Structure 1
Amino acid sequence: MSEADPRAASDARTPPVAVWQILEKLRGRDLTDWRLAEVKGRASVEARNLNNGIPFGWYPIDLSADLAKGEVKPLHYFAKDLAMWRGEDGQVRVVDAYCRHLGAHMGHGGKVNGNLLECPFHAWRYDGNEGVVKEIPYARAIPPQVKRKCVRTWHVVEVNRWIWVWYHPEDADPLWEVAALPEATDPDWTDYEVHEWNVWGSLQNMAENGVDFAHFKYIHGTADVPQGDLRWGEWGRGADVKAKMGTPMGEVDGLISYDTMGPGQSWTRFTGISETLMIACLTPVSEDHVHARFCFTQPKAQAEGPMGRLAKGLIRDICKQFDQDKVVWDRQKFERSPIICDGDGPIPQFRKFYSRFYAQQD
């Protein structure tokens, strides 16, 4: 196919966009390292207008299978150090990490004692539901200050084979539930294929991408600007986006149907090339750092059958598109008063909707 061939622009596997120049030589381990490496020299949170706070909602923090009974893990999300453990009863609990005694980080070296978290320094044992110290093995009496709630406890649920915590800067109770997706636990669908990124930008800029229809052509190389039928709910939103998709056998009509529940749970169903569910697990580490994990599952009959190569190719292409977006997000500023034109998509409507997830609004 010649460089001037007009069909070239219709094949999304060969993006004719500037960001690809940054990515075209990255393969294998180099690409994986780039996805996770810190971006040096980026502008400050204040200079990029990212100091709006972290939106509240349910956020995924770990795969359920990656936390064994009796295991303790340190975490750092929402600009906070946390300790997570699975008790002998199988329940996951999360508390703020630092012991009220002498400040040890209980996620590093702490251990499970029954269902309690034992501090590694002096074995003070915390209840993860009440946030109190239940036992001090060497003391005759527990100080009254820690017999009442003394550490923050976090609301935790396990849904779609993930552990989720509810974040709210004022520690308010959850306002909605995590949406359960039937494919995530369907034995006829594959186990998760997980891909991971660190994005050095804001969760809101990333979310706004979903209603920015024009960028699909100029960042991802789609044949045209896709049109979307939008859905707006109280805490969730979604869209059905029709787009031409390039394949080795030519263009096919594709449907990309995505939904969100709050700022931390997003899922997309792809049809046209291979039926695919992508669960996007997006968790803010700080105001300018998002830990992103994509979990893909597909019908085993497709993924392991004659169409398996196309199914795998679709996953690679979705990840490639996220790579392309990341090049922009890593240095993107939040424009508080953007100049919008008629082809941009419903960005003002999106911003009005998204503002509900900030506890303190201007």
Structure 2
Amino acid sequence: MNRFKYAYLDPDNYARGWHIVLFSQELGVGEVKKLHYFDRDLVAYRGESGKVAILDAHCPHLGANLGSGEGRVTGDNIACPFHGWTFDPQGHCVDIPYADKLPEKAVTALRGWAVLEKCGFIAIWFGEPDEAPENYLPDIKEWGENGWGDWVFYRSRIQAKPCDIIENIVDIAHFPHVHGGVVRSWENRFTERSVTQLSTVDRNPDAKMIIPPGAAVDLAEASEETGADVDAWGDATYHGPSIMYYYTEARSPDINFKSWWVNCHTAVNDNEVDLCSAVIVSSLDGTPLPADFARDYPHMAHIAFGQDVEIWKDKVYRDEPILCDGDGPINKLRKWYEQFYLPR
């Protein structure tokens, strides 16, 4: 029997595009971080000029990890802690302290990856070495403005595939069962490199919801206290295959606020993904937010994201699902998502 198979299900095939690997606050000047994504060991560092670079982690000399021993940043370059071979942000070997001449193969033996730092996060472009990255990630205009603060983020690593995660953007039917919400309005919009969910979801204190274990805030109790007096809407957009921006506003008799979330997933290997939910929040009407709300809201947002994680971490992927007329445009999403796994 011939069956169509999406390219994103092929082993060792990762999505072409931007993928968040760190937040800016995690990498100070002179700091080095070991990373492992796309089944590769990588090393990220911030040079003395403030520029971030990401390279293949293992020195082409004798294989030491450039991040071992906390790494050694010199200017905007990084030196191997084993023998001092030094590489620039493009991965070119620029110095061997005990050699009069650089071996020709050493000059281009290490890959330097395209890096984008904006809006408080650091992203790597995954693609062919000779292809130019695309400019599809928009700015978050409120980022860095007074009253917003820095990202409060939470990470987890689970057994799953990226395709399990991205389908949430069109899955209208899970809200009453996972999040305890009633969908009042819903629309999905597709462009070449983005897919958007415009939704208004009312809280239903009587509905079932997933409660992630160890949650710092009682989400069910918070939902009951909020009741039906909240008027909230949200605009969630995947820009490319793995980075979602979510903007939301909420008005109630007690508090009016607006918030940006960045939810992202980055493939570790064929079977694992790193998930991250990052949140900033501010007043909607200029009235200062209560200190306890400003403190607790990001954690409530992470718990809401964690409701989906509880499903993702032990589901299986159905490449031929049985769908009904109440489901969102799942097959359309899959065809859109396929583009990131095919030759450009």
Is 2:191 the partner of 1:233?
A: yes
1:59 maps to which of 10, 14, 19: 19
C-alpha distance in 2, partners of 1:355/1:186?
A: 36
Question: For the residues of structure 2 that align with 1:197 and 1:216, how far apart are their CA atoms?
Answer: 22
Tell me: CA distance 1:162–1:107, structure 2 relative to 1, closer, same or farther (3 Å): same
The aligned residue for residue 163 of structure 2 is 204
Q: 1:220 to 1:249 in 2, by over 3 A?
A: closer
Output the CA distance in 2 between the equivalents of 1:262 and 1:139: 44
Shift of 1:191: 2.5
Output aligned runs, 1:144-293, within 5 Å.
Answer: 144-147=104-107, 149-168=108-127, 172-222=131-181, 224-245=182-203, 247=223, 248-251=225-228, 252-273=230-251, 274-293=257-276
Q: Which of 308, 312, 323 is the equivalent residue of 1:340?
A: 323
CA contact (8 A) 1:159 1:178 kept: no
Closer, same or farther in 2 for the Cα pair 1:142/1:51, shift >3 Å?
Answer: closer
Distance 1:265 1:121 in 2: 36
- Take 1:188 and 1:179, find their aligned partners in 2: how far apart are those partners? 21
Deviation, structure 1 residue 96 = 0.4
Q: Which moved more, 1:115-124 or 1:58-67?
A: 58-67
Greater relative contact order (Cα < 8 A, sep 6+): 1
Instruction: State the one-letter code of the partner of 1:262.
Output: G
CA distance 1:63–1:303, shift in 2 (3 Å):
farther
What corresponds to 2:63 in structure 1?
Answer: 103
Specify the code of the residue in structure 2 equivalent to 1:269: Y
Alpha-carbon separation, structure 2, partners of 1:308 and 1:271: 18
Matched residue SS, 2:35: strand
Separation in 2 of the partners of 1:249 and 1:107? Answer: 47
Q: Distance in 2 between matches of 1:98 and 1:302?
A: 51
Contact 2:36 2:268 in 1 (8 A): yes
Q: Secondary structure at the match of 2:28?
A: coil
Gaps of 5+ in 1: 1-48
The answer to whether the 8 Å contact 2:148/2:281 transfers is yes
How far is 1:164 from its partner?
A: 1.2
TM-score with structure 1 setting the length: 0.79
Deviation at 1:323, TM superposition (A): 2.1
Secondary structure (helix, strand or coil) at the match of 1:255 reads strand
Residue-by-residue CA offset, 1:304-337 (whole Å, 9 max, x unaligned): 8365555555544432332222222112222111
Query: Where do 5+ consecutive residues of structure 2 fail to align?
Result: 1-8, 205-222, 252-256
Distance 1:315 1:212 in 2: 23
Preserved contact between residue 77 and residue 88 of structure 2 (Cα < 8 Å): yes
Shift of 1:220: 1.7
CA contact (8 A) 2:258 2:283 kept: no
State the match for 2:220 in structure 1.
none
* CA-CA distance at 1:124 after TM superposition: 0.6
Distance 1:277 1:336 in 2: 32
CA distance in 1, matches of 2:173, 2:47: 48
Question: How far 1:52 sits from its partner (Å)?
Answer: 7.0
1:315-354 pair list within 5 angstroms: 315-354=298-337
- Provide the C-alpha distance between the structure 2 equivalents of 1:314 and 1:138, rounded to a whole number of angstroms: 55
Instruction: Out of 88-97 and 279-288, give the one that drifted further.
Output: 279-288
Alpha-carbon distance between aligned partners in 1 of 2:167 and 2:241, rounded to the nearest angstrom? 11
CA contact (8 A) 1:245 1:253 kept: no
CA root-mean-square deviation = 2.4
TM-score normalized by the length of structure 2: 0.83
Counterpart position of 2:50: 90
State the 1:212 CA deviation: 0.8
| Post-superposition offset of 1:287 | 2.4
- With over 3 angstroms needed to count, the CA separation of the structure-2 counterparts of 1:139 and 1:336, relative to structure 1, is same
Mapped partners of 1:52, 1:338: distance in 2:
23
SS at 2:132 equivalent: coil
CA contact (8 A) 2:180 2:203 kept: no
State percent identity of aligned pairs. Answer: 30
Query: 1:227: how far off?
Result: 3.5
Structure 2 CA distance for aligned equivalents of residues 301 and 175 of structure 1: 33
Preserved contact between residue 214 and residue 226 of structure 1 (Cα < 8 Å): no
Deviation at 1:120? 0.8
Letter in 1 for 2:114: H
